[in-house]
Structure 1
Amino acid sequence: MQHQLMALPYEHSALEPYISAETLSYHYDKHHAGYVNKLNSLIEGTEFVDAELETIILKASGAVFNNAAQVYNHDFYWKGLKPGQSELSKELADRIDAAFGSLESLKEQFLSIAAGFFGSGWIWLVLTPEGELKIETTSNADTPIRHGQKPLLTCDVWEHAYYIDYRNARPNSLSHWWPLINCEFVSENFAAAKRG
């Protein structure tokens, strides 16, 4: 099975002025595509050659895991962004209020954790196996599905996600990332996670 680079659900310039078309040309066309191509070359002739992406993530290690997980994480990241306004489902909004106090409180906690995260990785809003909403961090290519959690939202805090537009000012990039969240995607993930 040849894994494919997902099609972006918007034009490269659609997230401007928050995320530039130049950033997407590097982040999506080079980094994300590079993980897909590397994964395909690594699994050739192995037990994973015909495996689905999530199966590889759950069973592989080393470079195969790293590239498969980065494909998954980036797919999730791009789907979680959207130009223009979007709204959370009432059920998820209510659960966020119960878990974090308010959406604004979730935003403050999420962005603070993302700004303070050391090194490269991902910040996630997840639903735990116990049914709790939590903010989680994963280093490098690690991903919540490896730990039995259901991801709802992710933010990429690798430097290639923001350096062209914001240089090393990660907190500034994060405050501009937040308005781009695709709330419908997050809500759909929550509903699917609840269904199991």
Structure 2
Amino acid sequence: MPLVWVTGNSGTGKSTVCGMLRARGYVAFDADDDGFSRWVDRDTGEVVPDPPYPVPEGWLDRHGWAIVRERVEALAVESRSRVAFLCGSVENEADVGDLFDLVVCLVIDDDTLRHRLATRTTNTFGRHPEELAASLMWNPRLREIYERCGATIVDASEPPAEVVERVIGAAHDLAGSGR
């Protein structure tokens, strides 16, 4: 069965999708909250356990949110008996891309992104001007990047239940194709 990477920009609804998948009985993990990702210093490779808040100017230029390959490898092995979802966004995604059978990218427009980052209650990323600027810079690029890679693109400005249906549908389409 497929291992599905559900990705997208901050504020596109990855955590919401993850929670709804879990509520429907699917194996689903949040790469942020379930220990798959961490902040690292790009120059030294050191893990940064508690980044400053708000991040000072230039902090995001030196540090990155990275996934731990060994955690994803273990999930890939454990999830072969049924569809499993890992939801998140990391800068070293290429380091684990070979472990996924399907990539689903959630996309939203800039106005929706601004609104969601300003009003979400699950975490504070995106409220600081430097974080918001980084998210807005990447927003139009992500769709382009993932389309070129053959990912399934899902408009996450739709109601969450519809977004989840599209994500599940893409996974079941892949599972049904025998891949």
- Comparing both structures, which one devotes a greater share of its residues to strand? 2
TM-score (norm. length: structure 1): 0.27
Structure with greater proportional helix content? 1
- TM-score, normalization by structure 2: 0.29
Q: Which has the higher contact order (CA 8 A, sep 6+)?
A: 2
